[in-house]
């Protein structure tokens, strides 16, 4: 496989059509889904030359978490739909490549088991240090209206060693995925479940509680969460610059500028088009991580040049997993890393810190 597109094609021919449609699809007319990629295509890179740089350095540090690359794994649900080892294989690939993995609350493997797989793959070496603590694993959370349940989820993630909480705030209701409605994809196959939701307060010890997406969730819940945890809190799904400013006032530690890969409100702008406004609103006071449509190293470089601290990939991880399990995910991450490395050098940059907005031009 030479690039992520080839993994996409492999996944499309491997995964059951109904499940492939679930991962590929977006909301309603899929306008935003298409635009996330198209918007990167409307941007051009304008390189600098003769800058005498060393080989590019790609390492980043986010909330005390060291990563070998500015590309992290955005949270995606249900990895066992595309590979029997599910999130365990993904976690091993993340650990082996020094990549931050954001595990979904809707994972088909419990967070403690994901963390154990990551530790095992890292062979006890974390952040280049033997016995160096917890792996670069974050936990994605949908705040549940029942705060006792939310507290239990946070406690589980913390006990597992998660180093940050990524709170998804773009889902007051579940996005309307017409492909899934047409295909009748309403539930996970027998033997698969959202394992983080098993045995939570108020239910039978082994029962799996459904994930609630609730329009009631508001900034008060965020304030409550802020005092309930000492982990860094990252808001995922912020699109409006005023919400970015509010996030700062509510003590949030970072933002994921995300439209959920075009799966929630359709017709919202592509994330890369919003990035300059969000970066300006935040004014360097917290990191902004962008996801949506990142498929090439040049996309990563464009986002970093426009002020993102890192980028996330969603679907490409699932393509790699579907195509070849842990090896496939590793290859996806390695390919992207090689492309970022080359694109940085070709831009005359020695590290992401050397990238500046003047290197990006909009196609006329």
Ligand X SMILES: Cc1cc2nc3c(=O)[nH]c(=O)nc-3n(C[C@H](O)[C@H](O)[C@H](O)COP(=O)(O)O)c2cc1C
Residue 90's binding partner among ligand LXCWX6NK, ligand X, none (Cβ under 5 to 8 angstroms by kind) is none
- Residue 11 has which token pair? 């996944």
Report the alpha-carbon distance of residue 15 to residue 359 in Å, rounded: 39
Minimum separation from the CB atom of position 281 to ligand LXCWX6NK (A): 25
What are the structure tokens assigned to 121, written together?
A: 């793959």
The yes or no reply on residue 77 touching ligand LXCWX6NK (CB under 6 A) is yes
Backbone φ, ψ for residue 118 (5° rounding): -65, -45
H/E stretch holding 136 reads none
Q: Are 179 and 21 in contact (CB under 8 A)?
A: yes
Give me the residues that bind ligand X (CB under 6 A), please: 23, 36, 74-77, 104, 106, 140, 168, 236, 258, 260-261, 263, 291-294, 313-315
When asked if residue 27 is in the footprint of ligand LXCWX6NK (CB under 6 A), the reply is no
Give the residue from 224, 256, 63 showing the smallest Cα distance to 151.
Answer: 224
Interface with ligand LXCWX6NK (CB under 6 A), residue total: 5
315 is an interface residue for ligand LXCWX6NK by CB under 6 A:
no
Contacts 24+ apart (CB under 8 A), 85-88: 85/325, 85/326, 86/321, 87/113, 87/114, 87/117, 88/113, 88/114, 88/117
The least distance separating ligand LXCWX6NK from the CB of residue 328, rounded to whole angstroms, comes to 20
CA distance 312 to 102: 9
Q: Which does 211 bind (CB under 5 to 8 A by kind): ligand LXCWX6NK, ligand X, none?
A: ligand LXCWX6NK
- Residue 77 CB, nearest approach to ligand X (Å): 4
* Binding residue for ligand LXCWX6NK, selected from 19, 80, 263, 315, defined by CB under 6 A: 263
DSSP state of 24: H
19 labelled catalytic: no
Site string for ligand LXCWX6NK, 102-131 (x = CB under 6 A): ----x-------------------------
Residue 98 DSSP class = T
Task: Quote the tokens at residue 95.
Answer: 């650990």
Return residues touching ligand LXCWX6NK (CB under 6 A): 77, 106, 211, 260, 263
The residues assigned a catalytic role are 260
């Amino acid at each position: 496989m030479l690039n992520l597109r080839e993994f996409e094609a492999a996944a499309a021919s491997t995964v059951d059509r109904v499940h492939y449609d679930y991962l590929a699809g977006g909301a309603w007319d899929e306008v935003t889904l298409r635009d996330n990629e198209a918007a990167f295509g409307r941007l051009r890179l304008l390189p600098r030359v003769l800058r005498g740089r060393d080989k590019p350095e790609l390492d980043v540090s986010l909330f005390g978490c060291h990563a070998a690359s500015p590309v992290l794994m955005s949270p995606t649900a249900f990895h066992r739909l595309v590979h029997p080892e599910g999130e365990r294989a993904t976690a091993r690939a993340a650990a082996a490549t020094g990549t931050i993995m954001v595990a979904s609350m809707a994972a088909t493997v419990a967070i403690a088991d994901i963390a154990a797989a990551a530790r095992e793959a890292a062979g006890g070496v974390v952040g280049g240090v033997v016995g160096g603590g917890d792996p670069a694993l974050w936990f994605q959370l949908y705040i549940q209206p029942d705060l006792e349940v939310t507290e239990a989820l946070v406690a589980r993630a913390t006990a597992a060693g998660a180093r940050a909480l990524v709170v998804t705030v773009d889902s007051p209701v579940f996005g309307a995925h017409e492909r899934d409605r047409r295909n009748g994809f309403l539930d996970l196959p027998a033997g698969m479940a959202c394992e983080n939701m098993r045995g939570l307060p108020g239910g039978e010890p082994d029962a799996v509680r459904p994930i609630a997406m609730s329009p009631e969730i508001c900034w008060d819940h965020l304030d409550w969460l802020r005092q309930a945890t000492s982990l860094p809190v990252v808001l995922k799904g912020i699109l409006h610059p005023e919400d970015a400013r509010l996030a700062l006032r509510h003590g949030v530690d970072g933002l994921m500028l995300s439209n959920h890969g075009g799966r929630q409100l359709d017709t919202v702008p592509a994330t890369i088009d919003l990035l300059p406004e969000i970066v300006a609103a935040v004014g360097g006071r917290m990191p902004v991580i962008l996801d949506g449509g990142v498929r090439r190293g040049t996309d990563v470089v464009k986002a970093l040049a426009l002020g993102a601290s890192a980028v996330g990939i969603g679907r490409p991880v699932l393509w790699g997993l579907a195509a070849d399990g842990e090896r496939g995910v590793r290859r996806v991450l390695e390919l992207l890393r090689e492309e970022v490395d080359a694109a940085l050098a070709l831009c005359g940059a020695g590290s992401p810190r050397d990238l500046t907005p003047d290197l990006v031009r909009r196609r006329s």
